[in-house]
Structure formats: structure tokens, C-alpha cells
Chains A and B, each alone.
Chain A
Amino acid sequence: MIYIFDGSLEGILTSVFEWFERKPGLTKIIAKERHQPDAFSKSFEILTDRTKADRVWKGLTTRLGRDWMRRVYCSYLSEKPEIHQDVFDFCIYLFQHPAGAEKNYGNAQVLSMAQTARKVEREKHRMEAFIRFQKTADGFFYCGIDPDFNVIPLLINHFKNRYADQQWIIYDIKRHYGVFYNLETVEEIEMDIDVSLLKKSNQHMLDEQETLYADLWKDYFKSTNIVARKNTKLHTKHVPKRYWKYLTEKL
């Protein structure tokens, strides 16, 4: 049996609901845009239904602690093609076994959830570290990123709590959306202009002190290095090269 769904988390949860209604046995779920019809297997299109999804989510919360609920959500945010199936299988596995089944790390889905979530959390943590705000002339702090996973939803709380007194924008260049904090709330934004402040042509949009502090930071980065201990391998392990294009000190 193949379930075709819309690719959203609600879609997966609805699929879980439908599966328990029908019990069709071994089931593959696949997002609509990835689906290629074949002649031999039956397929069924899932219509995402908020109430059904909510019931499954509520069911999960009675079985899982907060840390595991977050793992399920994080795994979904990884946007890996195979993760839909794993979340789906994990939910079914969980509902079919007595409470506490999520601790069975010998089970493939449990391990996949734990490991994928860990990767996403690592990416989230890297973003908390590697985001470099640039102050614009009108007082906003802007940063563009292109993380491996869709981690912006996980970043909001951290930045909202930390930079409560400054307006900031974090924009995901790859996924074409971002978040803006207006000193009260965080809202989602979409921009269709190229706002990369790292470009020379956009330098006039920056605050007049921005280059001074960027230079001071670069100086600091250089002077705090101990040349006698040079260890490039370790350096690139901690700061992988794909992030360099956003790091002020590596530009």
C-alpha cells in the first residue's frame, strides 16, 4: 500500500490516523511531489485533516515526554526524503507497543528518530553560534543563512530571549523565508529582493560603525590565534567550510 500525502507534518500524522482506521498492513508513505505512480501497487491519497492530525499528536503527547516530542518535530524539520517514512513508522510502532517503547534503541525507527533529531539540533546549535548580524543604517540586525536543515523554527526562542531589545531578521536564503523580531513578537517574512549585505554594492545600507566592529572582530580573531599550535584539520572540523561564507571573521 502506498499513501500519498502533501509532505507536511500534519499530513504524516493524518496518514497515521488513516492507517489505524484501515490497517492496510505494510505501508509506504510518500510526498506528492516525489510520487511516481506504478502499475503494481495500490495507492491512497491522504487529505490532510487538522482534527485527525491533532488527535494523533495528542496521542503522542500522552506517550512521549517533551524531549521525544521535540525529537519527532526535529526529525521532520530535517527534510530528508526518507524521514517521512521513519516518522510514520515510528508513530505506528509507538501506538502498537506499551508505554516506554521509545527507549528501545535497538529498534531502527527509534534510532533513526534519535539520530536525525540530533543532527538537526546540531545544525540549530551551529546557527546559534554562526549567525553574524550586520547592523543596517536603519537599526535592524540582519543575517542571511542557508542551513542544511530547516532550523529557523527552532531558533526563534533563543534569539527572541537573547536579543530582546533590538530588531533582528534571520533570513533563510535557500528556503526563501525568514523571521523578523519587532521588539514584541516574531513574525514570518518573505522578501523577493536580494538583500545580501555582504555584497560590496549593498555596503551603503549598513550602519556607519558596522565596518569598524567587523574589522575589530577580524583583528580579535587573528590575535587570539596561537600560531605555534596551528591545527587546520581541527579548525575545519569545528567550522566546516560551507559556513565560511557567512562568518565575518572568515570573509
Chain B
Amino acid sequence: MSERLRDKLNILADAAKYDVSCSSSGSDRKNTNKGVGNGHKSGICHTYTEDGRCVSLLKILLTNHCIFDCAYCVSRRSNDIERAAFTVDEVVELTMNFYRRNYIEGLFLSSGIFKNADFTMERLLRVVKKLRLEQNYNGYIHLKTIPGASDELITEAGLYADRMSINLEMPTETGLKLLAPEKSHQDVIKPLGFVKNQIIQFKEEKKLIKSVPKFVPAGQSTQMVIGATPETDKEIMYTAANFYKSFSLKRVYYSGYIPISNDSRMPILGTQPPLLRENRLYQTDWLMRFYGFDVRELLNDANPHLDTDIDPKLSWALRNMHHFPIDINTADYQMILRVPGIGVGSAQKIVQARKFGKLYIHQLKKIGIAYNRAKHFITCVDTPYQLKDFQAVQIKGFILAESQSKYLKTPNEQLLLF
């Protein structure tokens, strides 16, 4: 019995791992009636796999049987792999026992579509209900919304889950149609919009009546596969920005495509996953969400792709040298945030500290900014006077010379012969 369980876990965890959503944050569900578990506002990553991705949730599929045949997916109908399915009790037992040992922060439950959307959604719902109602479990639950499931089922699921998500899969409709002709972005947009409206409605009601239950307190997220189809970075990020805005998403995840088949429409087996590109997209995502950048400043028709050698914040600064240098002791917080080498934490400290007196270089360094990078864009009290006005390319050269990219394994300079 335990051998079969181990097999199933291996198969269904392996199939679920391409879903990169891992966060366990955003929910502060309380542990009521001396049950087990609670939400942690900022989430906890309990361990990290050898590829450096965090493991905070037990991420599994209920089953990898699927009626769809999406070319980018491991569990596609036409793929010859071993299939398995958990019973409801098995998932509940696994979750509870892992959780009690502090292995995980909660459950991430997804599933291949078997029979039809409602049937699948109903099974997922049964697992979460059993956890919440029978096991008195208050830990984190991330549940996949199955596209096409009925509104009633989705609403009920939202009452028990902390986060719900549906994957966009491909950044553009044409890309999706190419690889998964049976699907369309509309299938995703409808339930995303429905859940969003429900969240707003429940929040409004909660203002009036305190006993209204929580509905998807940690919000919704989605995911896009990067590099399977030939979209530009601009198209990807514009789609992301649009979804952030229209559906108040908490996160959009970008998953570098890892070749899994010999399908001629996609990169061939053995191609390196686009890790650097993925990293740059996440950087752009962060700039949009925490640094007050508009996506059009970072990516536009003149620059449809992000630079590979420098990060998007630096490349924005180099394109807009007319804004710099700024005086750290007088500039707006919003402007300080835009300086390459200064993060949110340091920017806040600077704004508070300068009320007590002008700031000097040694203080900026101690506060924790990356001074060697930032020095080209800022002045403070004891900045050395400079006659020369460096051009953007020169500054880029200085910064690249003293930094080492973790992605460029072989330096691209020519070796000297003598």
C-alpha cells in the first residue's frame, strides 16, 4: 500500500512541478477551535529544491489523466506516460502529515481534466472541504480553478481556498491557438473575472456584516510559459500588465519552457531553458509592482526586448540619462526608487534619515545601497566634483566591467595572446 502511495506521489508531484506558483503569502487565516494550521502573512518557504526554487506547498495533481492535448504540457492526452490518481483521502492524509511535521506551508492542488470540468472541480472541492471541515485544518490552500467549471462550484471552492489560480499558458492568443487549439484565453478570462467580482462582493458584504466568511483571501494568480512560442518580451509584459490591472492579480508567474517533446512547433529537446530571460521578466514585473514603473517605460516599440547583459532598471536609467544625476538629499522618494542600485528598503531609509541631516557617501554605503552602481546616478554631500560628463554607453561599460553576471559562464572578452 505504501509502495503504491510513493509511486503516485512521485508521478503526480513530477507532473505538477511545471506550475511555478509557489507563494504561500497573503492569507492570515487564523487557527480556530484549537485546530491545526494558520496562514502566515508573508508566507514561509520551507525548503528549496536543487534548482533553487522554493518549496512551500505540497504541489500535486489530483490526477494526470487529461482529456486535453496541449503540446506544451507533460500530461497531454497523446503523451505516453504513466498515469495515476490520488483518492481524496490520500491527499488529505499526505497534507496533514506533512503539515504537522512542519514540512510544508499548505497544499497546492491542481489536476488534469478528467471527464469534464465540473467533475474535476467537484473532486478538488471535496479534498479542500474534507481538510477544512473534518480535519479542522486552517493552513494555506492554493486551488486551481478549472476553466469551464460552474459558477456555483467555483464560489464554493473560494470559501475554503486561500488562493485560486488559472494559467494563461501562452502570452498571446495566437501562441495558445498554435499549441493548444482546444483552448482560448476567453476560457481563462471568464473565471478570473468571476472570482475577482466575487472577492469584491464578499469584501463589501464583510464591511457590513462581520460574519461573512473569507473568500479567496490571498487573491488570484496566473502563469505564462515563456519561450515555447516566439513572443517578444514586450508582448509578454503587456499581457501581464493588462492582467494585473483588469483582474487585480496578486502575481503573474513566468515559466521558462523546458522542452518535453519532439513537437516541431516548439524548441527541440535538450534546448536550455531560458533562465536569463525569465529572470529579466521577473525583474520587470517587480519594477512594475514595487518601483512605480509603467510597463511602457520599460518596454516599447523602440525596445521590444529586455537587455540580456544589464537589468531592466539599469537599462531604463541609461536610456533616460536626462533625469540623472539626482541629489539624494532632496530628490523625491519616487525618483530615488528609480536609481539603479537602490532598492525599496534603502530608499525608505534614505528618506527617513535625511530629515536628520544631509547624507554622506559612507552613510549611504552603510545603509546598504549598491554604491558602485548607484554612484553614476546620484550626488550627495561629498560626491567628488566631476568635470567629465559620461555618456550612457561609458557608464554601462564601467558597471559591466566591475560586475560579474551569474549567467555568462564564459566571459565574452577576447583572450590576450601576449
Enumerate chain A interface residues (CB-CB to B < 8 A). Answer: 101, 103-108, 111, 114, 125, 128-135, 141, 143, 158, 161-166, 183, 209, 212-213, 215-217, 219-235, 237-239, 247-249
Kindly provide the distance from the CB of A7 to the nearest chain B CB, expressed in whole angstroms.
27
Produce 1/0 per residue, B234-249, CB < 8 A to A: 0000000000000000
Neighbour of A226 across the interface among B34, B51, B100, B359, CB < 8 A: B51
- A220 proximity list for chain B (CB < 8 A): 9, 13, 58, 98
Secondary structure class of chain A's binding surface, majority of residues: helix
Measured CB to CB, the closest approach of chain A to B333, in angstroms, equals: 14
Which B residues have a C-beta under 8 Å from some C-beta of A? 2, 5-6, 9-11, 13-14, 16-18, 30-31, 34-38, 40, 44-55, 58-59, 94, 97-98, 100-103, 136, 139, 256, 258, 272-273, 275, 349-350, 352-357, 359-360, 363, 366-367, 406
Nearest B residue to A163 by beta-carbon distance? B36
Residues of B within 8 A of A227 (CB): 51
Q: In the bound complex, do residue A106 and residue B101 qualify as a contact, i.e. CB atoms below 8 Å apart?
A: no
Q: Chain B nearest CB: distance from A177 CB in Å?
A: 20
Does the CB pair B6–A215 fall under 8 Å? yes
Cross-chain pairs A/B with CB under 8 angstroms, 10 sampled: A103-B352, A106-B363, A134-B101, A166-B100, A215-B6, A224-B13, A225-B49, A226-B53, A228-B273, A231-B275
The distance from the CB of A34 to the nearest CB of chain B, in whole angstroms, is 26
Query: If the complex has contacts A213-B97, A223-B13, A249-B47, are A105 and B353 also in contact, measured as CB distance less than 8 A?
Result: yes
Cβ-defined contact, B49 with A216, below 8 A: no
**B contact residues around A158 at 8 Å (CB):** 40
Q: B13, B17, B48, B256: which has the most chain A beta carbons within 10 Å?
A: B48
Point out the residues of chain B lying under 8 angstroms from A233, CB to CB: 52, 406
B363's nearest neighbour on chain A, judged by CB, is A106
Contacts of A128 in B (CB 8 A): 40, 44
Contact count A vs B, C-beta below 8 Å: 162
Complex: A235 Cα to B50 Cα, angstroms: 5
The distance from the CB of B227 to the nearest CB of chain A, in whole angstroms, is: 12
With both chains docked as a complex, state the minimum distance between the C-beta of A216 and any C-beta of chain B, in angstroms.
6
A57–B37 Cα distance when bound, in Å, is: 34
Is the beta-carbon distance between A103 and B50 smaller than 8 angstroms?
A: no
Q: In the complex the two chains form, is B258's CB within 8 Å of A226's CB?
A: yes
Complex CA gap A83/B220 in Å reads: 43
Q: How far is the CA of A164 from the CA of B352 in the complex (A)?
A: 40
B101 engages A135 (CB within 8 Å): yes
Residue of B nearest to A225 (CB): B49
Known: A106-B363, A166-B100. Is A129-B258 also a contact (CB below 8 A)? no
B275 near A229 with CB under 8 A, answer yes
Q: In the complex the two chains form, what is the Cα distance from A134 to B100 in whole Å?
A: 9
Contacts of A101 in B (CB 8 A): 356
Closest A residue by C-beta to B13: A223
Q: Which residues of A contact B49 (CB under 8 A)?
A: 221, 224-226, 235
Q: Verify A238–B17 contact, CB threshold 8 A.
A: no
B352 touches A133 (CB 8 A): no
Q: Is the CB of A234 within 8 A of B52?
A: yes
